[in-house]
Amino acid sequence: MSDQIMTYQNEEEMLLSRFSEAVTKDERKGYEGYVVEAKALTDFAKTLRDELGYDYLSSVTGVDYLPEGKMEVVYHAYKTTGGPALVFKVQVPRENPVVPSLVSVYPGADFQEREAWDLLGIKFEGHPNLKRILLWEGFDGFPLRKDWREPYYEADHKPYKSRFPEGKFFRAEDRNPFGKNVDYPAGFDPAKWTPDNSNALIYEGLGRIAKEDDDLPTEQIVVNLGPQHPSTHGVFRMVVTLDGEDIVDLEPVMGYLHRNHEKIGERNTWLMNMPFTDRLDYLAPMSNNFGYALAVEKLLGVKPPERAEYIRVIMAELTRIQNHIFAIGMFLNDMGAYFTPSLYAIEERELILDVFEAVAGARMMVNYFRFGGVARDIPEDVMQKIHDLAFERLPRRIDELDKYLTNSEIVRIRGEGVGVLTPEQAIAYSASGPVLRASGVPYDVRRAEPYGIYDRFDFDVAVRYHGDVYDRYLIRMDEVRQSLRIIQQALQQIPEGPILAGKPQYQHRVPAGEAYGRVEGPKGELGFYVVSTGKTNPWRYHVRAPSFINLTALAEMCKGQKVADAVIILGSIDIVLGETDR
């Protein structure tokens, strides 16, 4: 921090004084942070990063305020040393929403700005690669705008009157002459349609890249890995430029699984969204529930009872364990070990899913958290099962996996020094979770900005320092052991008592305002930004998806590596396409 800043009483005074003509406090009821004029946005962001230490841009969210005729972009910046967010916003006219890109200041804004352009039509001036990212280039319109309506549109908000209370159900495609849930332009004739070449924009930036000291010129070729390929962990595509076997450039292509999760979320009531969060990272549904519940509880001003807080932590850490051991097993698949390590991991995961089923009634789509608590208590026999897993079986089984895999010659040769991401790069690209901590940055939301009751537990933030594929494997082993420590303490401390604040409610009227709730999910920081107008449905519902944002650094990790390494580098990030594409 510079001497100049030290002359101010606090950050707020410094920012308002430095940018007196371009920055004001957000005085709207229920809102926080600063409103920055577009012309000063880049300088404001540089000041945050270089002088105030806000080196980590976590979240970029676009919001359509249709009645006011404006678009707003909301930024959440943090210090990697810990502490709360500094929230800043820029507002632009809706008919011409142009905002300066912050990719030059925070490279982690790259995919998030493209998403805001794709879904809301906000143009980020100066972005190095502004194009759609979740939809195809020929898509008509910007679906998260409030005046955009889907072809099967029925009403702005649920529950739809035709379904409740009238009870009439119909399929939208039955009313469409083409028999599909799509809308076609007037006079459209499928027989005469020529598809646009959406791939042209992708390939355009992947031409031949000159090499220094190229004594033996070799042909560069562009290869598609995916989207239909088992090594891409779903319908995900890597467009790779190769010089021989060496990767000289790579572009991730996603969106094949996109279903406009956030538009659905803004049609739903607040509580209806809880089971929809299960379907983001479907390997970590309890963590998804947790993040969304925290965001809405901030607006409601509700605090869960003590027993519910402990149950939440137990479920979240069981989720982390089963995610990580499954990720390790599938990572070994990517290395070519086929299914033997995976089966060891899957056996332990199934035992944890047994617990979820006994408590929530479902193994994966749990719909377990509620605003102010959880849906059901843990039965006594299930509590004993959790105790046996945490104190006896899982520690032993993790040690066995460690023994079998960690010093394997294949794992070490394929992993050490491959896909390196430096600490500076990891922070700049807004990486989170194991990807960030394996690069030597000990940043964990549970410690940096504790939520729930995490500040009561004794655990270490797992960190490794080489930033390679091998360390991203090791960090997950480390985190499983720390999760077991947390669960053991929670089991010893959990009190009796209620599991929900107040009575169960079907409908919630959430006070007007904005809130950002975030948790340290298994993949990284999972955040939910919500805006309420005081009604029964969210005005804005946005997911900060770690699987999506962690891919921002994929190209950097792959350049200079072999084509076979791209597969295990992607596996070491541990993505789930339900969360990536939403």
The string of pLDDT tens digits covering residues 356-394 is 999 999 999 999 999 999 999 999 999 999 999 999 999
> Mean pLDDT, to the nearest integer, of 450-474?
95
Cα distance between residue 295 and residue 274, in whole Å: 12
Is the CB of residue 388 less than 8 Å from the CB of residue 395?
A: no
DSSP 8-state code for residue 433: T
Mean pLDDT to the nearest integer, 415-434: 94
Question: How does residue 199 score in pLDDT terms, banded at 50, 70 and 90?
Answer: low
Write a three-state SS string for 66-135: HHHCEEEEEEEEECCCCCCCEEEEEEEECCCCEEECCCCCCHHHHHHHHHHHHHHCCEEECCCCCCCCCC
Task: Report whether pLDDT(430) > 70.
Answer: yes
Q: Give the per-residue pLDDT at 198.
A: 58
The predicted pLDDT at position 213 comes to 60
Residues near 455 by beta carbon (within 8 Å), at least 6 away in sequence? none
Look over the chain and give the mean of its residue pLDDT values, rounded to a whole number. 89
What secondary structure letter does DSSP report for 200? H
Query: What SS3 class is residue 337?
Result: helix
Question: How far, CA to CA in Å, does 146 sit from each of 60, 142, 415?
Answer: 19, 9, 47
In which residue are the tokens 């076609």 written?
Answer: 184
Q: Is 159 or 272 the better-scoring residue by pLDDT?
A: 272
- Contact of 577 with 340, CB cutoff 8 Å: no
User: Mean pLDDT lowest for which of 17-31, 186-200, 254-268?
Assistant: 186-200
Distance in angstroms (rounded) separating the CA atoms of residues 487 and 560: 41
Peptide bond between residue 159 and the one before it cis (omega within 30 degrees of 0) = yes
Radius of gyration (C-alpha) of the chain in whole angstroms: 24
Residue 485: pLDDT over 50: yes
For residue 178, pLDDT over 80 is answered with no
pLDDT of residue 1: 45
What is the model's pLDDT at position 91?
A: 96
pLDDT mean over 432-436: 95
pLDDT reported for residue 243? 86
Neighbour-count burial of 168, counting CB atoms closer than 10 A to its CB (0-12 exposed, 13-18 middle, 19+ buried): exposed
Go through 334-346 and write b for each residue having 16 or more CB atoms within 10 A of its CB, e for each that does not. bbebeeebbebbb
Average confidence (pLDDT) over 568-577: 91
Average pLDDT over residues 68-95: 95
Kindly report, as residue ranges, where domains of CATH 3.30.460.80 are found in the chain.
3-125
- Examine the pLDDT at 47 and tell me if it is beyond 70: yes
CA within 13 Å, CB half, 28: 16
What pLDDT sits at residue 286?
95
pLDDT score recorded for residue 290: 96
Residues whose CB falls within 8 Å of the CB of residue 1, separated by 6 or more in sequence, listed in order: 51, 52, 53
Cα 523-124-445 angle, rounded to 5 deg: 25
* Segment 251-269 mean pLDDT: 91
> How many H-runs (helices) and E-runs (strands) does the chain carry?
21, 15
CB of 365 within 8 A of CB of 297?
Answer: no
CA pseudo-torsion sign 360, 361, 365, 371? negative
Q: Which fold has domain 3-125?
A: Beta Polymerase; domain 2 (3.30.460)
> 191 pLDDT exceeds 50?
yes
CATH 1.10.645.10 location in the chain: 261-581
pLDDT of residue 5: 46
Residue 3 pLDDT > 60: no
Superfamily of domain 261-581: Cytochrome-c3 Hydrogenase, chain B (1.10.645.10)
Q: Residues 431-442: what's their mean pLDDT?
A: 96
Task: Give the span between the Cα atoms of 422 and 468, in whole angstroms.
Answer: 9
The pLDDT of residue 164 is: 75
* 477, 436 contact by CB (below 8 A): no
- Does position 315 have pLDDT exceeding 90, yes or no? yes
Mean pLDDT of the 103-108 span = 95
Q: Per-residue pLDDT for 177 more than 80? A: no
- Residues forming a β-bridge with 529: 516, 542
Average of pLDDT values for 232-256? 87
Take residue 309 and report the two structure tokens written for it: 């807080």
Residue 547 has what pLDDT? 94
Helix, strand, coil in percent for the chain, rounding step 5: 40, 15, 45
Conformational region of residue 529, where left means phi above 0, alpha means psi within -120 to 50, and beta covers everything else? beta
